Amino acid sequence: MAKSYHLIGSYTCPWVQRAVIAMRAKEVPFEVTYVDLRDKPDWLLEISPHGKVPVLKVDDEVLFESNAIAEYLDETVPPRLHPEDPIKRARNRAWTDFVPGFSSALGKVIYAKSKEEAEEGRAAASRALSLLEEALAKERGNDGPYFNGDTLSLVDAGYAPFLQRFGIAEAVLRTGLLDGFPLVRAWSDALMQNGYVINSTAPNFAQEYESNLQRRETYLWSLIEANRAAAQ
């Protein structure tokens, strides 16, 4: 009997998006419920030990944390998104462990509260991007377009949400950060054109993400507002 999958997430959470990409890549039928994390329902707190999303209900069992969810899906639902070779699989897992550090580095630019703070964040973002550039050059040994080659992997699913958010910011901030990292740029472009990634966000993602930038009083939001005012 086929298992039922019910994902609980929030509208803008990149970790939820990571799980959605993995499930769509495996063509798993699933339901998704989005909640407002600023007003968490009691039932979420009852099933999520950390009060966070994503949470995946598999029949009557509950899983939490995006990496654990992705690994569970890869072990139980074909096709495998990790490499079959044990060494390559371990190295892929190591690069998924770098996702939090990568997201934090990009966040210093995306969520900066001033132009000066965004410029200061460039150094951290550049260091993180240089590590990925080197990984893409050494790890796959081919022209991609994804992390391992021509097939989407769990590494791709992990980084895509953060590269997407950086792309949104870059369209406004115009930092030129990716100019020095052509492999990362090509990888990001390929991910943003992938159907699983395109269809991995909530229908109201753009509106909710802008609201998030506004609530956090980011420099990026001030530029978005200024650009809109100038266009009127």
The answer to whether the beta carbons of residues 71 and 22 sit under 8 Å apart is no
Concerning whether 13 is annotated as a catalytic residue, the answer is: yes
55, 76, 97 — which closes off a domain? Answer: 76
Specify if 19 maps to a domain: yes
Q: What per-residue confidence (pLDDT) applies to 142?
A: 86
Instruction: Return contacts of 36-39, CB within 8 angstroms, 24+ apart.
Output: 36/10, 36/11, 37/10, 37/13
CA distances from 147 to 87, 120, 220 (A): 15, 29, 29
**Local structure of residue 197 (DSSP, 8 states):** H
CA atoms within 13 A on the CB side of 12: 14
Domain count, the chain: 2
Looking at the structure, do residues 61 and 153 belong to the same domain, yes or no?
Answer: no
Q: What per-residue confidence (pLDDT) applies to 173?
A: 97
The answer to whether the beta carbons of residues 172 and 161 sit under 8 Å apart is no
Looking at the structure, do residues 215 and 141 belong to the same domain, yes or no?
Answer: yes
**Given the residues 13, 69, 163, 213, the one annotated as active site:** 13
Q: What per-residue confidence (pLDDT) applies to 140?
A: 85
- pTM here is 0.96
Looking at the structure, do residues 103 and 215 belong to the same domain, yes or no?
Answer: yes
* pLDDT tens digit at each of 232 positions of the chain: 679 999 999 999 999 999 999 999 999 999 999 999 999 999 999 999 989 999 999 999 999 999 999 999 999 999 999 999 999 999 999 999 999 999 999 999 999 999 999 999 999 999 999 999 999 999 888 889 999 999 999 999 999 999 999 999 999 999 999 999 999 999 999 999 999 999 999 999 999 999 999 999 999 999 999 999 999 8
Cα gap 139→108, rounded to integer Å:
27
The answer to whether the beta carbons of residues 184 and 133 sit under 8 Å apart is yes
The residue segments making up the domain with residue 154 are: 86-224
Query: 40: left (phi > 0), else alpha (psi -120 to 50), else beta?
Result: beta
Looking at the structure, do residues 187 and 146 belong to the same domain, yes or no?
Answer: yes
The CATH code of the domain that includes 36 is 3.40.30.10
Q: What per-residue confidence (pLDDT) applies to 141?
A: 84
The answer to whether the beta carbons of residues 172 and 226 sit under 8 Å apart is no
Cα gap 43→21, rounded to integer Å:
25
